[in-house]
Amino acid sequence: MNIKTEFYSDSEWIELKPYGIAVGTLETRPIFMLKNESKNVTLPVWLLPQQVVDTLAGAEGSHFPSGPHKITQEIFNSLGLKIEKCLFVELRGHHQYVDLYFKGHPEVKKMRFRASEAIPLCLQMGSEFFAQREFIESCRQMDAEVFSGDPNIDSHQLLKRVRTDQLN
């Protein structure tokens, strides 16, 4: 599947906060979850298994004595460079991409990275996360398709199916 979709519509940007990580069996990818303030909107971010530890360390931020991005954070701080915000902007196949917006350097303003690779550093640096509703819904749909193997299922049908299976 080679879908490439960029999301820069005039829609409202929703601020999202780190919520948790779901880790399943070896056959499934871990999912880092971001939620809006009222916790009624969830953005799943698919990670590689080796990125879980980095993401957890990043989530601890400055409270974590060491971590994979501690040196990067110290370099950024010494240069006065800060990741201001992380915008989820593109789906390419089963990969999410973010635009990181920087401040503090005259030449570095915006860079695009794979979300799973940028999340740990963004967490470590204390940046803010934003996405548009269309992007969130597309990710939720993609998540449901990948989880169920059915390209025609939506996340609400999948949730209903999972809850029914759990009750039986």
Other beta carbons within 10 Å of 160 = 12
How far apart CA 156 and CA 44 sit, in angstroms, is 14
Amino acid letter, residue 42: T
For residues 81-92, give the mean pLDDT.
94
Domain of residue 78 covers 4-132
For the chain, the farthest-separated pair of C-alpha atoms sits apart, in whole angstroms, at 60
Q: Exposed, middle or buried by CB within 10 Å (0-12, 13-18, 19+), for 74?
A: exposed
Is 146 domain-assigned? no
- Residue 153 in any domain: the answer is no
Domain count, the chain: 1
pTM over 0.95: no
pLDDT at 72: 85
Give the Cα-Cα-Cα angle 10, 16, 22 (nearest 5 degrees): 130
Is 51 inside a domain boundary?
yes
Q: Residue 57 pLDDT more than 90?
A: no
Does residue 157 form part of some domain?
no
Lowest mean pLDDT among 8-12, 34-38, 108-112: 8-12
Look at residue 151 and tell me if it is in a domain.
no
Residue 51 belongs to a domain with what CATH number? 3.10.690.10
| Residue 166 vs residue 42, higher pLDDT | 42
Pick the residue with more confidence: 104 or 54?
104
Q: Is residue 116 part of a domain?
A: yes
Q: What interhelical angle do 51-60 and 115-125 show, nearest 10?
A: 20
Q: In this structure, is residue 112 part of a structural domain?
A: yes
> Which 3 state secondary structure label does DSSP give 54?
helix
**Is residue 25 included in any domain, yes or no?**
yes
pLDDT tens by residue, 108-166? 899 999 999 999 889 888 899 999 999 999 998 877 666 555 555 554 554 444 444 44
CA distance 99 to 85: 8
DSSP result, 71-94? HHHHHHHHHT-EEEEEEEEEEETT
